[in-house]
């Protein structure tokens, strides 16, 4: 055991090296399997539906990133780092990837993408992949928490590509059996590659997804450089110019390991049932339930008032024109007005609902939606509390969401995770292929090698 006074990166790397597949609880392994299937489904759909996918893949090929690793939906023709980039960018491009609420981070895209590519390249088995995924989530989320995830956002950095890049590094290193010293060195190399500016929000830039791809790519590269003997800086996490001090002014290094209760962060991560910002999900849940329970028609609905926290309002509320009337799919994914209106009309929200942003029925329903800041929601943070009042047929239906569907306390069962996967993958893969992929993922703990799974994920 490394002493507390020593390099935080070395202590964290020692934790990763010591994590054993045999010690992981069955429930944790099941969540890791669901995380793998979740990333696969989103990435294959993004290969065709995300506007950025073709350009990103073209750039990867132009750089000569050839190899034998699989780009999900593309084929087995990439280097491991290029496959990690494609798959992570795809998994983050539809606003459908998993969420750790306290960490304000989507760990699955960078971590699973890096672990899957590294495992395929190393001919590793499924157990090694699952262990690497658990380790990567722990590193990514704990660093986001230690940095003060809200502080990262306030400085203009997203935790997913920043802290997530270190999680990707840990995942790749764990697959390859790196020592603690080698992984600590890789953390140092990764520090010099860390980025994740939120300036993409200014115009809906494709860097929103691309920089998460870079996180997976760079995590794999950092491990490879460290393995080749390249020396990175010590104290890469807590040093005077390390990750925590450079990206946050309220950092708490003790949250990485010393104040951790030992529960794996993948067990505290939720899977999204709807392809939109997580701050919209409580309202979608409650509005959909009211619509179904009372069999309401669109013409029955008179008004909808949604109370959310100040933080949530900054992301999905406000009176800006692009919030009330989204111009792009990206706008709509972060518009509670749009998401609530669709839920009032359809009872849910799916990828297909973004196909016509100018649907007159949706625009008319948006006019009935009011979003207000609610002090009750502020008091529940970091939980994403939402308060809904829906008036229909002269009656007010009031609902409260403290735990949105898909959260660990309301986790998606296997049939729900598979239903999401098939809804995403079915347009590209046959039903037989989808079921074969599901079977392989559900039996990852005994699958050897991982290539038996990735061989099914091509074009």
pLDDT tens for 14-73 read 999 999 999 999 999 999 999 999 999 999 999 999 999 999 999 999 999 899 999 999
Query: What pLDDT digit, counting tens, does each position of 247-299 carry?
Result: 999 999 999 999 999 999 999 999 999 999 999 999 999 999 999 999 999 99
Q: Is 132 in the same domain as 265? A: yes
- The answer as to whether 2 is a domain residue is no
Q: 3 in a domain, yes or no?
A: no
CATH number of the domain at 114, please: 1.10.4100.10
124 with 237, same domain: the answer is: yes
Does 353 map to a domain?
yes
In a domain, 1, yes or no: no
Pairing of the two strands 395-401 and 75-78: unpaired
The phi, psi pair for 456, rounded to 5°, reads: -95, 0
Residues 204 and 241 in one domain: yes
> Percent of the chain beyond pLDDT 70?
99
For residues 133 and 175, membership in a common domain is answered with yes
Same domain, 226 and 252: yes
Query: Based on the domain organization, do 88 and 156 belong to the same domain?
Result: yes
| CATH number of the domain within which 336 lies | 3.30.1330.120
One domain for residues 40 and 157: yes
Q: Predicted confidence band at 85 (pLDDT cuts at 50, 70, 90)?
A: very high
Q: Does one domain contain both 170 and 145?
A: yes
The reported pLDDT for the residue numbered 6 is 74
**Distance between CA atoms of 279 and 357, rounded to whole angstroms?**
20
Q: How many domains does the chain contain in total?
A: 2
pLDDT score, position 150: 85
Which domain does 383 fall in, by range? Answer: 278-401
Q: What is the pLDDT of residue 2?
A: 37
Mean pLDDT of the chain: 95
Say how far apart CA 7 and CA 243 lie, in whole Å. 13
Interval 111-150: pLDDT, tens: 999 999 999 999 999 999 999 999 999 999 999 999 998 8
348, 225: one domain: no
Mean pLDDT score, 155-172: 97
Determine contact, residues 84/219, Cβ cutoff 8 Å.
yes
N- to C-terminal Cα distance for the chain?
A: 46
Name the pTM for this structure. 0.95
For residue 209, is it within any domain?
A: yes
Q: Is residue 406 part of a domain?
A: no
Asked if residue 430 and residue 306 are part of one domain, the reply reads no
Q: What region does 123 belong to: left with phi over 0, alpha with psi -120 to 50, or beta? A: left
Pairing of strands 301-308, 369-373: parallel
The confidence band for 409, taking pLDDT boundaries of 50, 70 and 90, is: very high
Q: Looking at the structure, do residues 193 and 76 belong to the same domain, yes or no?
A: yes
Q: Is residue 196 part of a domain?
A: yes
411 inside domain? no
Do the beta carbons of residue 219 and residue 110 sit within 8 Å?
A: yes
Mean pLDDT, residues 341-365: 94
Mean pLDDT, to the nearest integer, of 90-117?
A: 97
pLDDT at 323 over 70: yes
Statement to judge: residues 255 and 282 lie in one domain: no
């Amino acid at each position: 055991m490394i002493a507390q006074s020593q390099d935080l990166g070395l202590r964290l790397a020692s934790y990763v090296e010591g994590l054993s597949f045999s010690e992981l609880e069955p429930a944790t392994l099941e969540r890791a399997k669901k995380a793998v299937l979740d990333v696969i489904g989103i990435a294959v759909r993004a290969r065709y539906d995300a506007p950025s996918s073709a350009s990103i893949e073209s750039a990867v090929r132009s750089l000569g990133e050839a190899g034998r690793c699989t780009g999900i939906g593309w084929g087995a023709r990439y280097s491991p780092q290029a496959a990690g980039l494609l798959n992570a960018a795809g998994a983050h491009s539809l606003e459908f990837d998993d969420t750790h609420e306290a960490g304000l981070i989507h760990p699955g895209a960078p971590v699973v993408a890096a672990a899957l590519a590294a495992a395929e390249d190393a001919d590793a088995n499924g157990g090694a992949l699952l262990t690497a995924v658990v380790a990567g989530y722990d590193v990514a989320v704990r660093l986001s928490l230690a940095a003060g995830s809200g502080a990262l956002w306030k400085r203009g950095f997203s935790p997913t590509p920043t802290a997530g890049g270190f999680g990707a590094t840990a995942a790749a290193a764990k697959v390859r059996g790196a020592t603690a010293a080698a992984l600590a060195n890789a953390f140092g190399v990764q520090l010099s590659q860390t980025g994740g500016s939120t300036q993409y929000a200014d115009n809906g830039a494709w860097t929103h997804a691309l920089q998460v791809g870079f996180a997976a790519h760079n995590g794999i590269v950092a491990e490879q450089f460290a393995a080749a003997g390249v020396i990175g800086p010590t104290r890469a996490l807590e040093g005077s110019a390390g990750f925590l001090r450079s990206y946050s002014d309220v950092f708490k290094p003790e949250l990485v390991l010393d104040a951790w209760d030992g529960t794996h962060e993948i067990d505290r991560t939720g899977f999204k049932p709807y392809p939109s910002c997580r701050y919209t999900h409580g309202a979608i849940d409650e509005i959909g339930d009211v619509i179904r329970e009372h069999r309401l028609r669109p013409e029955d609905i008179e008004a909808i008032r949604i109370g959310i926290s100040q933080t949530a309002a900054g992301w999905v509320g406000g009176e800006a024109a692009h919030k009330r009337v989204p111009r792009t799919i990206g706008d709509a994914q972060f518009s509670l007005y749009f998401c609530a209106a669709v839920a009032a009309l359809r009872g849910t929200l799916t990828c297909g609902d973004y196909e016509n942003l100018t649907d007159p029925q949706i625009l008319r329903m948006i006019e009935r939606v009011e979003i207000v800041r609610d002090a009750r929601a502020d008091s529940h943070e970091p939980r994403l509390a939402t308060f809904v009042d829906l008036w229909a047929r002269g009656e007010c239906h009031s609902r409260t969401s403290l735990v949105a569907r898909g959260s660990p306390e309301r986790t998606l069962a296997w049939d729900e995770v598979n239903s999401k996967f098939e809804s995403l993958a079915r347009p590209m893969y046959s039903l037989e292929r989808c079921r074969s992929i599901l079977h392989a993922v559900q039996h990852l703990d005994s699958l050897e090698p991982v290539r038996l799974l990735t061989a099914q994920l091509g074009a």
